[in-house]
Amino acid sequence: MAMKALDIYKHLPKTNCKKCGYPTCLAFAMKLAVGKAEVEACPDLDPDTKSLLGGVTRPPVRLVTIGAGERSIAVGEEFVLFRHEKTFYHPPGIMVQVSDTWPEDEVRSVVETVKETVVQRVGQDLVVNGVAVKYESNRPERFAATVALAGGGSTLPLVLIASDPAAFEAGLAVAGHYRPLVHAATEENWEGLAALTKRYGCPLAVRAAGPAELASLAGKCAEAGTPDLVLDPAPSSLAGFIATATEIRRSAIGRTEPALGYPLYLDAGAFGKTDAALAAGILKYAGIIVTPPLASASREAALTLRQNIYTDPQKPIQVTPGIYPINEPGPDAPILLTVNFSLTYFTLLGYLEASRIPCYLFIADTEGLSVLTAVAGGKLTETLVADSLKKFGVADLVDHRLLVIPGYAAPLSGKIEDATGWKVLVGPRDAADLPGYLEKEWKA
């Protein structure tokens, strides 16, 4: 188990020297307790204390970076088994696999798609992260050429999948300085590969069936000087992956087996059901998912699922405050006030779009709180509404001065009228009733 802040504090120098960057030792202890600070930041700890505190405060799953530059990804550094317990922090990298036996055009087209395709949702740009190059040609120079074709690691993070040391040598000669993930060290070849990845400073995937075997192999590789590991449990079925991944994550979180504290690797193409495997990997602890090229529908659904699952449940996605036209509104369209809690926004959006009623959704910044909470917590106030009306230039959009507010905000109606000079209409509490309400009540 992790140590509580107060217990950690007892081991600190209690000098409030601020050299760690925090104003007090207690503040530093609290950051350590949640895995958000490094013990190394304290210059005055003796090695024993450092190692003791490091053991209990280091993230239970190691953060491993793959690739370099803008598109590089960091996976791991997770703290919980279920997202509701806190949150999942680092979404898995999805890597599209190409083979070095493919014609150049085909490889180039896949790489282009990975590079260029961006799905925009709720203010985030969602991308498939990188390319996995598989060695099937039996010709190391061809492998190296395909790696180069995939950008050589300088643009997209890469996974190099092979079994022949010569292939790795050739591939790393091209991409070795861009931290590609090398897949995979096994019981048979780990010594050579560990030495190779140590030389290039690359992350290494280790592959073995079962947690115990993985732990032993990972321990040996780490010992040999490759600290950045990824574990491939070599599952024989998708259900098997879910079960093993859960077991490994549980050991890592519980700190019962430090050698299992690494991100996991999943080959989503291994079972002939790529969509299911992608979903399972996203949901159950994969850090790196290698997949065959995806059709656009699968890609969009998978990226959306990944975004959903890696949303902080205690801090919901916020919608950017502003004025959102829906169904091509004109100057007589209603202005509908709401909050920037994403679920509220999406729910309203769904009903309003389906209703075909032209309107403006007027989103005030309640820091992501729902209407009920924002009203109760004093985040949605007449001042906020008045300021937001001005800021977003709402008055210029319409030729009326009527504002429809959510039913739960009814207690504010009088104050909003006073503060804005707009006439307030109190809408329903439930988004589902809004189209009906507008049909009946709205007359600009």
In the complex, the smallest distance separating the C-beta of residue 198 from another protein, rounded to whole angstroms, is 36
Provide the 3-class DSSP secondary structure of residue 119: strand
Where do runs of H (alpha helix) occur along 58-103?
none
Stretch that binds another protein, among 61-69, 255-263, 301-309, 328-336 (CB under 8 A): 301-309
CA distance linking residue 429 with residue 408, whole number of Å: 6
Question: Which listed residue (118, 195, 212, 295) binds another protein by CB under 8 A?
Answer: 295
Decide: is 30 part of the binding site for another protein (CB under 8 A).
Answer: yes
Judged by CB under 8 A, the chain residues 419 through 438 that form the site for another protein are 426, 429
Decide: is 300 part of the binding site for another protein (CB under 8 A).
Answer: yes
Beta bridge partners of 267: 290
Number of residues in contact with another protein, rule: CB under 8 A? Answer: 71
Decide: is 305 part of the binding site for another protein (CB under 8 A).
Answer: yes
Structural Rg of the chain based on CA atoms? 27
Stretch that binds another protein, among 66-74, 183-191, 269-277, 322-330 (CB under 8 A): 269-277
- The answer to whether 3 touches 57, Cβ cutoff 8 Å, is yes
Decide: is 124 part of the binding site for another protein (CB under 8 A).
Answer: no
Phi (first) and psi of residue 359, to 5 degrees: -165, 170
Decide: is 118 part of the binding site for another protein (CB under 8 A).
Answer: no
CA distance linking residue 176 with residue 199, whole number of Å: 9
* Helix/strand/coil (H/E/C) assignment for every residue in 306-348: HHHHCCCCCCCCECCCEEEEECCCCCCCCEEEEECEHHHHHHH
In the complex, the smallest distance separating the C-beta of residue 368 from another protein, rounded to whole angstroms, is 12
Judged by CB under 8 A, the chain residues 226 through 245 that form the site for another protein are 237-239, 242-243
Question: Which listed residue (41, 224, 283, 323) binds another protein by CB under 8 A?
Answer: 283
In the complex, the smallest distance separating the C-beta of residue 442 from another protein, rounded to whole angstroms, is 15
Decide: is 307 part of the binding site for another protein (CB under 8 A).
Answer: yes
Closer residue to another protein, CB minimum distance, 196 or 302: 302
In the complex, the smallest distance separating the C-beta of residue 28 from another protein, rounded to whole angstroms, is 9
In the complex, the smallest distance separating the C-beta of residue 6 from another protein, rounded to whole angstroms, is 4
Closer residue to another protein, CB minimum distance, 169 or 300: 300
Q: Which residues contact 100 (CB under 8 A, 6 or more apart)?
A: 133, 134, 135, 136, 137, 139, 142, 143, 145, 146
Closer residue to another protein, CB minimum distance, 26 or 173: 26
- The answer to whether 48 touches 71, Cβ cutoff 8 Å, is no
Decide: is 24 part of the binding site for another protein (CB under 8 A).
Answer: yes
Question: Which listed residue (418, 433, 439, 444) binds another protein by CB under 8 A?
Answer: 418
- The answer to whether 284 touches 83, Cβ cutoff 8 Å, is no
Decide: is 320 part of the binding site for another protein (CB under 8 A).
Answer: no
- In b/e form, how buried is each residue of 45-83, taking b as 16+ CB within 10 angstroms? beeeeeebbeebbbbbbbbbebbbeebbbbbbbbbebeb
Judged by CB under 8 A, the chain residues 68 through 97 that form the site for another protein are 82-86
Decide: is 330 part of the binding site for another protein (CB under 8 A).
Answer: no
Decide: is 275 part of the binding site for another protein (CB under 8 A).
Answer: yes
- The answer to whether 250 touches 242, Cβ cutoff 8 Å, is no
- The answer to whether 30 touches 5, Cβ cutoff 8 Å, is yes
- The answer to whether 7 touches 26, Cβ cutoff 8 Å, is no
Judged by CB under 8 A, the chain residues 137 through 176 that form the site for another protein are none
Judged by CB under 8 A, the chain residues 341 through 370 that form the site for another protein are 342-343, 346-347, 349-350, 353-354
Decide: is 19 part of the binding site for another protein (CB under 8 A).
Answer: no
β-pairing, 181-185 with 204-207?
Answer: parallel
Decide: is 301 part of the binding site for another protein (CB under 8 A).
Answer: yes
